[in-house]
A and B are shown apart, each in its own frame.
Chain A
Amino acid sequence: MANIRTISFDGVIVGGGGAGMRAALQLAQSGYKTAVISKVFPTRSHTVSAQGGITCAIASADPQDQWQWHMYDTVKGSDYIGDQEAIEYMCSVGPEAVFELDHMGMPFSRTEEGRIYQRPFGGQSKNFGEGGQAARTCAAADRTGHALLHTLYQGNLKNNTVFFNEWYATDIVKNQDGAVVGVMAICIETGEVVYVKSKATVFATGGAGRIYASTTNAHINTGDGVGMALRAGFPVQDIEMWQFHPTGIAGAGVLVTEGCRGEGGYLINKDGERFMERYAPNAKDLAGRDVVARSMTLEILEGRGCGPNGDHVYLKLDHLGEEVLESRLPGICELSRTFAHADPVKEPVPVVPTCHYMMGGIPTNVHGQALTVDANGNDQVIPGLYACGEVACVSVHGANRLGGNSLLDLVVFGRASGLFIEKALREGVEMRDASESDIEQASARLNRVNNSTGGEKVADLRTELQNVMQNHFGVFRRGDYMQEGIRKLADLRGRIENAHLEDKSSAYNTARIEALELHNLFEVAEATAIAAEERKESRGAHARDDFQERDDENWLCHSLYFPGEKRVAKRAVNFTPKTREAFAPKVRTY
């Protein structure tokens, strides 16, 4: 492999979204040689699409607000399989991380007092669920992700982070001790393949919403980090937990923020009924996302959907008035006019639950260190590998993420990963170099794709995969449907592995990238399917017709999917926060 160039860094971050850039910023500030590999120019990462805000108890809207209340909401929202130590860390460190964003220049909306504007979001409460609706989501109009992502990119420019923009990481390089010592990466513009060597490899590759046919996710959300981890033999956690966002624009999939309902919008069925009053008498339209998405789906299934095919419901906003809509929700007005041909000032927006977020991912501790378990079920750190943001499962979202918690997650744990790696590097990291055969092994898949001589088209296989996931692993799930889905996936595996890359050219060959992405989509889909079939209960976003109740006796735990044997194990949920007693599971109502 003498012709493969090696580039060395202290820390390499794979992914240029919010989590990756926050981690990179921390490391770059510490003076360590840091690089970000991003398959798109960083500000084109999917964080840019986040709208409503970043939830955090900064006590602006309510001076009495406490991070412990936010913690309570998040634990309850997770349906009690979020790790309480991690949630405690996120909620307590959150304010500091948000204020840092302001200091970096993030253009938050403001209150009359000059503080950061906060709006109500779903699943939020005061006083541990006893004090009514809270307003805890810090916002930059309805473009919070855009404001956040650009601010972080700017912060990295200021701190001289090295960017490999439009480079694509293909596989993990492991040394003979099983430690992660970097990744193989391809320069999209030239086709050059290099070994990026690193003492710390941080996966911040985001989600994989493109495994479903209907998704709010960008085209680029193909689960590259999960795919690489699974191919390297590492497990993923709670991967069956997929959030369906209540308000994707029907037909287009494009997201309209929960902030619409936070600002006073509500859902209606074809009779004009505000149906959430029946399903969640207290929180109504601001119940947890899983609850709202299921309620909408039931309305549609029971014949009360809107439109000629009765296949969506309406989000009513016009009563808020043009001034509120144009100042608080300008991006939504634009998206709705463009994609729904509906002007929210005058008419309701057609919406339908749409795949939105991967709660599961690479298991990590609060420092971002990737974990596996040994034969006795004890946690073991995977040397050299870190993960943060959507690709990670630390786990703060458990079975259902609260709105506004994803941006907080990626900022807090991107930062935490950077802080920990800085300390580790200072103490000294000793890892054996990768051998030629290690690098060869990590290049095998790319070589196979480059040498393909036949097989089916990538686009056709991708569509087929997305339809299997949409039809067999959607909002409601059932054992026999899922088993059928798993059989279809088994048939797809070989066909996808052997998909045909006809175009072997080097310069900006997006066909090659899409072929490699399809492998990752498949890995995520298969793990999702097998873990979903295995979890025989309903919890959070995982709703089964054949096991309708939550089963704390058997399933108050994480699932851990091992790719080699395609086996699902259980891993304990953390119930030991550091500064207070744990919130015990109770029946989850809104």
Chain B
Amino acid sequence: MLKVSLYRYNPEVDQEPYMQDVELDTGGKDLMVLDVLELLKAKDPTLSYRRSCREGVCGSDGMNINGKNGLACVTPISEALKNGKGGNTLVLRPLPGLPVIRDLVIDMSLFYKQYEKIKPYLINDTPAPAIERLQSPEDREKLDGLYECILCACCSTACPSFWWNPDRFVGPSGLLQAYRFLADSRDTATEQRLSELDDPFSVFRCHGIQNCVNVCPKGLNPTKAIGHIRNMLLSRAS
């Protein structure tokens, strides 16, 4: 039997959140954490969480698993228990730092707002050609490690700087996306993008703690991207 400790909170019923202990017969299988949740929900339909693709590409089921942020659908129980907290119990909590709506569902508005703030779309006011805008494989390679972000929020909600200033610090996910457009040879708004990031909070609240790198389920490196933006801002100032 697998012991599971679940963060529960239903605003209509509960005065405050609590941890619920349940047990599940996994048949000895090393299930993914999402499969555990699905089996638990079949027994108790009131349990709420987000899920969609169940293969780690949609970013719905980011949660705190035994102390570490990750995607439930690509985290096997065995991996989860190695995260350290909880011993042999699977401990599932919502991503930290943002308001909880219910159970494992958080309000991601601030996270999305930071994403929108960096103008996450290509800007190029020159007339488009009749075919694609040409881009060399070398220039395209600069987008690798950036465009793959799935907006799961595991990184930003693991970042102490984002916890303190979720309204003013763009956060690792948003900054990774900001650099994705700064790095795109087809984008012509570099100057505008940099000037909009050039304040004490948007970028410079990053203290290189690297929690983001540690938790990213896609193996991306926001800290490195933030370093590139920092360098661009500094060389622009000098």
Contacts and interface: CB of A to CB of B under 8 A. Distances in A.
Which of B49, B57, B143 has the largest count of A CB atoms less than 10 A from its CB?
B57
Contact of A44 (B41, B49, B58, B102): B58
B235 to A, nearest CB: 25
A58 interface: yes
> Counting chain B CB atoms within 10 Å of each CB, which of A158, A219, A331, A334 scores highest?
A219
Interface string B128-143: 1011111111011001
Interface in B97-140: 101-103, 105, 108, 112, 116, 119-122, 124, 128, 130-137, 139-140
B46 interface: yes
Contact of B136 (A43, A98, A114): A114
Q: B41, B132, B181 — which one has the most chain A CB atoms within 10 A of its CB?
A: B132
Given A58-B131, A108-B132, A503-B45, A154 B55 contact: no
Interface string A546-571: 00000000000000000000000000
B59 interface: yes
Contacts of A143: 57, 148
A114 B105 CA distance: 43
Given A49-B58, A458-B45, A110 B137 contact: yes
Nearest to B112: A41
B53 A218 contact: yes
B50 interface: yes
A505 B148 contact: no
B10 interface: yes
Given A40-B60, A102-B132, A509-B48, A46 B53 contact: yes
A43 B56 CA distance: 13
Contacts of A68: none
B54 A99 contact: no
Interface residues of B, number: 54
Given A110-B137, A457-B45, A44 B143 contact: no
A351 interface: no
Chain B binding surface, main DSSP class: loop
A43 B151 contact: yes
Contacts of A46: 52-53, 58
A359 interface: no
B147 A511 contact: no
B11 interface: yes
Interface in A111-160: 111-116, 140, 143, 146-147, 150, 154-155, 157-158
B193 interface: no
A44 B45 contact: no
Contacts of B50: 40, 44
A236 B8 CA distance: 42
A460 B41 CA distance: 11
A44 B10 contact: no
Nearest to A335: B55
A189 B101 contact: yes
B12 A503 contact: no
B224 to A, nearest CB: 18
Given A110-B137, A158-B121, A505 B55 contact: no
A268 to B, nearest CB: 24
Nearest to A503: B46
B45 A99 contact: no
B131 A49 contact: no
A380 interface: no
Interface in A421-453: none
Contact of A511 (B45, B121, B130, B136): B45
A459 B41 contact: yes
A298 interface: no
Contact of A99 (B10, B13, B52, B132): B132
Interface in A15-63: 40-41, 43-46, 48-49, 58
10 contacts: A43-B150, A58-B131, A105-B186, A115-B132, A146-B57, A218-B54, A334-B56, A457-B45, A503-B45, A509-B48
Instruction: Give 7 closest A-B pairs by Cβ, nearest first.
Output: A105-B122, A114-B134, A459-B42, A511-B45, A102-B132, A154-B121, A44-B58
Interface of B: 10-13, 41-42, 45-46, 48-60, 74, 101-103, 105, 108, 112, 116, 119-122, 124, 128, 130-137, 139-140, 143, 147-148, 150-151, 181, 184, 186-187
